[in-house]
Amino acid sequence: MSPGTKRSIWREIGVQLPFLLWLIVLWMMLWGQFTALSFVTGVAAALFVTRVFRLPTIELSGRINVWWAAVLVVQFLAAVVHGSLSVAWQVLDPRRAPGAAIIAVPLRYADDLVMTHVAVTASLIPGSFVVEADRDRRTLYLHVIGVRSLGDVERQRADVLRWERRIVRALGSPAQAAALRADQRAGASAGAAFAGSGRSDGSGRSHRSPGEGER
């Protein structure tokens, strides 16, 4: 192996080091053990996954919002507790069996890194699990329980998109965070315009454009 090849390998490992550490943490969380043995096996699993099943190098965003990252951790822990209680109630409820469905969730701001974070977060919260990820279309396919109507499906999809926005605020690139803020401002402006169009004029009637109601 030439010196140039060795330098390239060590550089790639250096770029991937934060991702390797995150994989180790996820491994320990999945096993529910924070011991020296779980750390060592996590290192072995992370190296095996990244070296044997090699994927394109994931470039980190270079941005971490400490406040939103802390909020994300608290919200995630709360969601895990709520999901555990919800799943337990659905299993123990004798009146009806919990429905299940596989739903597609097209992500809006995700690159490879954010998509991975969203998939892992959705899988760690009881009640949902990612069964497939379409990288080209930026779409996650999740198996979820507690679904009995189209309204439940839309609520589950909205929950995943909410996690995407939280992760982008905490860890997304500056461009992703700017796009999210722009969409939120546009949504707020549209909501204000919609609310203003239905205001009463003091006579108890709402303003209407000419010809409205005559169609």
pLDDT digits (tens, 9 = 90+) for 150-166: 998 999 999 999 999 99
Helices (H), 93-149: 112-124
- What does the alpha-carbon distance between residue 124 and residue 31 come to, in Å, rounded to a whole number? 12
Give the number of other Cβ atoms within 10 Å of residue 96's Cβ: 8
Residues 2 and 72 in one domain: no
Number of domains making up the chain:
2
Average pLDDT over residues 25-31: 84
Whether 146 and 51 map to the same domain: the answer is: no
Give the per-residue pLDDT at 202: 47
CA distance 169 to 180: 8
Residues 143 and 115 in one domain: yes
- Per-residue pLDDT tens for 42-91? 888 887 877 776 656 555 556 788 899 899 999 999 999 999 998 888 88
Indicate the pTM of the whole model.
0.64
The number of beta carbons lying within 10 Å of the beta carbon of residue 135 is: 13
Cα→Cα distances 173→3, 13, 66, 137, Å: 33, 21, 14, 19
Give the domain range for residue 8. 1-57
Give residues with Cβ within 8 angstroms of 200, minimum separation 6: 206
Instruction: Specify if 182 maps to a domain.
Output: yes
